[in-house]
């Protein structure tokens, strides 16, 4: 039946909009049409009017039940000033229909409202969405939300992403928005690497942002003040003496005595730097050559090495023959099994990184450090092949490496050279 006769109406008929609709569809119609609404909200800075039904809110949330019933019940329009109207309306849609559309833009707001109004189902949906959408670009934002909402499991998962992809994370907008506690937690992690000046500049940017949040003038003294004890967690010697002198010293966040102590350590490794903390990976450079044999390097030279590890390790970078006038490119392959026919599999090299991004730092005479901007996880039981090309405007007499099996803690690392005397002289690795 498409229409129902109703007495007292001018036409005698009303639209039977309920016909064929589910409960959630009928509820949504009542919400969007504002049919028989009996409670009003003023939402956001503009205090936009949003209307709803007491029965639905009371039946779905103990918080709304307390707000709308009993001696302390709200009598006038209820003001919700801490949330945008679009996100509040989306929460109402969930209360009416048990469905919602989560996006990167609204999930943290909905998570906040779900916690505030004790909407357990929506809270679980938001938590699942955040866990499944973790990326290096948004890890700091999710880490901060997990801290605010006291979600320990989500916090730990986000922290792992942050420290694993620190090169990307420190460039993300969310890094400077971390609270002081989360910032310290990230920087003090043993796996958070200050492999070049990028991480230090990111820490300075965080300090400037924190000064603004606290209403302080942006000065070197105030930046040191808001950094607090966290400044000792920054491995400031990892970037080398030149960058330290060029970037860290002029920043003014260290005293003269502190600068002297750190510079002395870079000149004489092993000297005391307390209270500054040294990350253990800086002491785990693995020398892979057994002998040095003189030979000519042409203006363009290349080689490949294959690495296999008994445990997961992190590759921080490589040391290569040459100097900072040379041009280097580096590609990564992983050995994978592929089906060949019905019964056989074959192993083949699959390029996983066409070009690895790195920072070139002068190291020893005739050698340079290629510090990866994103440390790589080399998984156990896989073999990896690195292909490096070096180009220069002149030839040079250098050496080459004879590779052998080595140990890093409990990890056994096998390294072989696939062809010709190599230009790669060392790897910088650490236990994962």
User: Which letter, b or e, does each residue of 90-104 get, where b requires 16 or more Cβ atoms within 10 Å of its Cβ?
Assistant: bbbbbbbbeebebee
Q: What is the pTM of this model?
A: 0.64
Structure tokens at 161: 């992403």
For 48, the token pair is: 């936009």
Q: Spell out a b/e string for 31-59, using b for 16 or more CB atoms within 10 Å of the CB, else e.
A: beeeeeeebebbbbeeeeebebbbebbbe
Question: Which domain range does residue 394 map to?
Answer: 285-431
Name the domain boundary from 81, 116, 132: 132
Residues 306 and 366 in one domain: yes
Of the candidate ranges 142-146, 178-182, 316-320, 328-332, the one whose mean pLDDT is the lowest: 316-320
Calculate helix-pair angle for 139-148, 152-164, nearest 10 degrees: 150
Residues 264 and 363 in one domain: no
User: What local confidence, expressed as pLDDT, does residue 18 receive?
Assistant: 84
Q: Indicate the residue among 239, 265, 283 that finishes a domain.
A: 283
Q: Is 250 helix (H, G, I), strand (E, B) or coil?
A: helix
pLDDT higher at 258 or 370: 258
Instruction: Calculate the average pLDDT of the chain.
Output: 80
CATH number, domain of 118, equals 3.30.710.10
Q: How confident is the model at residue 39 (pLDDT cuts 50, 70, 90)?
A: very high
Instruction: Decide if 11 is inside a domain.
Output: no
Q: Do 420 and 330 fall within a single domain?
A: yes
pLDDT, one tens digit per residue, over 387-408 is 888 787 665 544 444 445 666 5
Asked whether the predicted pLDDT for residue 170 surpasses 80, the reply is yes
Ranges assigned E (strand) in 215-267: none
Helix (H) or strand (E) run with residue 353 in it: strand 344-353
- The strand ranges marked E within 198-299 are 285-287, 295-297
Q: Does one domain contain both 81 and 151?
A: no
Per-residue burial over 377-404, b if 16 or more Cβ lie within 10 Å, else e, is ebeeeebbbbbbebebeeebebbbbebe
Structure tokens at 159: 């922290």
Per-residue model confidence as pLDDT tens digits over 113-161: 999 999 999 999 999 999 999 998 999 999 999 999 999 999 999 998 9
pLDDT higher than 70, residue 258 = yes
Q: Please indicate, yes or no, if residue 4 is contained in any of the structural domains.
A: no
C-alpha span between 278 and 258 (Å, rounded): 14
Average of per-residue pLDDT across 289-305: 49
421 lies in the same domain as 300: yes
Assign residue 387 the CATH number of its domain.
2.60.120
């Amino acid at each position: 039946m498409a229409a129902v006769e109703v007495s007292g109406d001018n036409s005698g008929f009303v639209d039977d909009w309920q016909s064929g609709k589910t409960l959630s569809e009928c509820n949504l119609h009542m919400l969007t049409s504002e049919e028989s609404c009996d409670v009003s909200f003023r939402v956001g800075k503009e205090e936009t009017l949003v209307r709803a039904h007491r029965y639905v809110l009371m039946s779905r949330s103990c918080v709304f039940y307390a707000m709308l019933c009993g001696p302390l019940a709200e009598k006038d329009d209820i003001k919700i000033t801490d949330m945008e109207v679009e996100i509040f309306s989306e929460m109402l849609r969930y209360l009416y229909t048990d469905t919602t559309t989560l996006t990167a833009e609204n999930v943290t707001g909905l998570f906040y409202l779900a916690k505030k109004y004790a909407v357990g189902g929506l809270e679980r949906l938001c938590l699942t969405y955040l866990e499944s959408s973790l990326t290096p670009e948004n890890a700091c934002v999710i880490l901060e939300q997990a801290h605010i909402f006291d979600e320990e499991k989500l916090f730990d998962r986000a922290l792992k992403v942050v420290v694993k992809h620190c090169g990307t994370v420190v460039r993300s907008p969310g890094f400077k928005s971390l609270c002081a506690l989360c910032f310290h937690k990230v920087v003090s992690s043993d796996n958070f690497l200050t492999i070049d000046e990028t991480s230090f500049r990111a820490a300075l940017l965080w300090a400037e942002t924190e000064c603004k949040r606290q209403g302080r003038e942006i000065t070197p003294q105030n930046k040191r003040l808001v950094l607090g004890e966290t400044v000792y967690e920054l491995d400031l010697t990892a970037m080398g003496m030149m960058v330290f002198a060029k970037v860290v010293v002029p920043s003014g966040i260290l005293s003269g005595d502190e600068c002297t102590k750190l510079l002395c350590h870079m000149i004489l490794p092993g000297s005391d730097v307390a209270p500054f903390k040294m990350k253990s990976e800086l002491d785990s450079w693995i020398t892979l050559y057994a002998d040095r044999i003189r030979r000519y390097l042409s203006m363009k030279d290349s080689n490949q090495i294959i690495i296999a590890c008994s445990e997961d390790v992190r590759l921080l970078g490589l040391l290569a023959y040459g100097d900072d006038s040379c041009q280097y490119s580096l590609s990564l392959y992983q050995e994978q099994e592929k089906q060949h026919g019905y019964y056989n599999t074959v192993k083949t090299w699959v390029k996983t990184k066409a070009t690895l991004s790195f920072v070139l730092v002068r190291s020893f005479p005739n050698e340079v450090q290629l510090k990866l901007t994103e440390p790589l996880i080399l998984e156990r039981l896989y073999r990896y092949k690195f292909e490096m090309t070096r180009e220069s405007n002149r030839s040079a007499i250098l050496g080459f490496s004879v590779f052998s099996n080595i140990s890093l803690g409990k990890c056994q690392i096998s390294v072989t050279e696939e062809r010709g005397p190599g230009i790669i002289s060392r790897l910088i690795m650490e236990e994962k």
